[in-house]
Amino acid sequence: MNRRGLAIAAGAALVVLLVWYFALWSPRNSELSKQRKRTDTAASQVQTLKTQLSRLQAAQRAEPVKRAKLERLRAAIPDDPGLAQFILDSNDAANRA
């Protein structure tokens, strides 16, 4: 009877252990794994956004210099170069020659 009682107790302990594992441990472990993946993804996004922010801040600091260059180019190259008038004048000069 002693062995039988010991086997029943061991079987009951095994059932309790299996129920605990499948009902409590396994779902929490998979949830923890999902949360770790989400944390890694968020950390990657943070790094990407920090890199993008530093690029944008550098572009913002360089913006006055680029605007000055743009204004110099606008002054050097007019918006309407008068190409049509140049063609007409060249055509008239060719006809007179």
Domain hosting 13: range is 2-79
pLDDT for the residue numbered 32 = 84
How many structural domains comprise the chain?
1
How does pLDDT run across 19-31, given as a tens digit for each residue?
888 888 888 888 8
Whether 56 is in a domain gets the answer yes
CA angle 16–17–23, rounded 5-degree value: 85
How does pLDDT run across 5-20, given as a tens digit for each residue?
888 989 999 989 988 8
